Structure 1
């Protein structure tokens, strides 16, 4: 599935079920070139193609459990916080709280960075590229409801547009079978403080 095909499925779901959401417009080729100059590496083609479709996701939590995607300016700002040297090939492309989703520009593989734990990479094929992750989300939202994403480790996250605080938006909730007893300390350790930058609290 191409990046554009994945975005088309996601956009259809948002238009039908989450009319309150608004995705940013496209970045330009000049924006991509400027970004490469600023961060000193070139993004994988699938990440660039996504930016040319939508310059980030604004406040829309595209990837479960609630990752918002960075635009070119946010990538440049966040990349400036990352270590130089060997790790300079890692580029942040989204976040949930203080946890950032990153891409290895040499391989295209998706990983994470936590201020306390540092960098980490999953072995699951889901994270082999950004296009794989986006296609996974697109297929979940393009399926009949309930829209449940089974993440590695058998975590189930359900997409809903009936959030009590933000109705008409895309929210991912870990309660497909009813309410759960949230372990907030565990969530904070895994994803960082709730309500961090660029989150909509969903």
Structure 2
């Protein structure tokens, strides 16, 4: 999937919001400027994957109203991606807030293990320096993106601040931001307005998906589908 595919999916989502949830559409933030993205990359020491940069150039996060374009998650703006990433590194005792380089031999070994696991698309139970937070559930959980070049680059998973673990299990995760946004767009445009967000991610917990509703003020609200 390409940046064009992501742009098309995002345009479909915005068109649906404009037609059905105008307040949510109006609350979406402006695009990130190239300088904002550059600052975030400098802070993390990471060149953002093309899909993430494309998304930020469309809209810089969820906006002041915290519009959940993805059910249960608010997209993070560029500055928050960098701040969250470096905060977690500092919390885990890394060398500094601005450098992903290991501080000693032990962390060097862990870092090498992180890279190997990321390349293989596997899980690990300490904070990865190879995953960028791209969205938050507001309760200590994050949607993270594997930025390490390789066959699993761009793959999405979950990170919890409670146990410090990054999970891509028990089922295959979304392969990319584009695949996720396409699923959201397909769901919004369906007759039932149901996004089976966890159909490819966590079927054991929410196989029924999420249903798009609109409140009286014109804001998108995700709800469990009615029986």
Q: In structure 2, what is the Cα distance between the partners aligned to 1:6 and 1:143? A: 14
Match for 1:114 among 160, 167, 171? 160
Alignment match, 2:130: 89
Q: Give the CA deviation at 1:124.
A: 4.6
Alignment match, 1:69: 75
Match for 2:218 among 164, 168, 171? 168
Q: Go from structure 1 to structure 2 and tell me whether the alpha carbon gap of 1:168 and 1:38 turns closer, same or farther (over 3 Å shift).
A: same
Alignment match, 1:147: 193
- Of Structure 1 and Structure 2, the greater helix share is in 2
2:104 is aligned with 1:99: no
- DSSP-derived class of the 2:62 partner: coil
Corresponding pairs, count: 172
Q: Which runs of 4+ in 1 moved over 3 A?
A: 122-126
Alignment match, 2:174: 127
Q: CA RMSD in A?
A: 1.8
Q: In structure 1, what is the Cα distance between the partners aligned to 2:217 and 2:169? A: 33
Q: In structure 1, what is the Cα distance between the partners aligned to 2:54 and 2:86? A: 22
Alignment match, 2:5: 2
Q: Go from structure 1 to structure 2 and tell me whether the alpha carbon gap of 1:96 and 1:129 turns closer, same or farther (over 3 Å shift).
A: same
2:47 is aligned with 1:42: yes
Q: Deviations over 1:38-87 (max 9, x none)?
A: 111122111110000001122110112x2010011111111122234422
Q: Go from structure 1 to structure 2 and tell me whether the alpha carbon gap of 1:91 and 1:167 turns closer, same or farther (over 3 Å shift).
A: same
- DSSP-derived class of the 2:136 partner: strand
Q: Give the CA deviation at 1:123.
A: 6.1
Q: Is the 8 A contact 1:69 1:95 kept in 2?
A: yes
Q: Go from structure 1 to structure 2 and tell me whether the alpha carbon gap of 1:40 and 1:123 turns closer, same or farther (over 3 Å shift).
A: farther
Give unmatched runs, 5+ long, in structure 2: 95-101, 103-110, 112-127
- DSSP-derived class of the 1:63 partner: coil
Q: Go from structure 1 to structure 2 and tell me whether the alpha carbon gap of 1:63 and 1:156 turns closer, same or farther (over 3 Å shift).
A: same
- DSSP-derived class of the 2:186 partner: helix
- Of Structure 1 and Structure 2, the greater strand share is in 1
Higher relative contact order (CA 8 A, sep 6+): 1
TM-score by length of 2: 0.70
Q: In structure 2, what is the Cα distance between the partners aligned to 1:28 and 1:122? A: 35
Choose 128-137 or 82-91, whichever is displaced more. Answer: 82-91
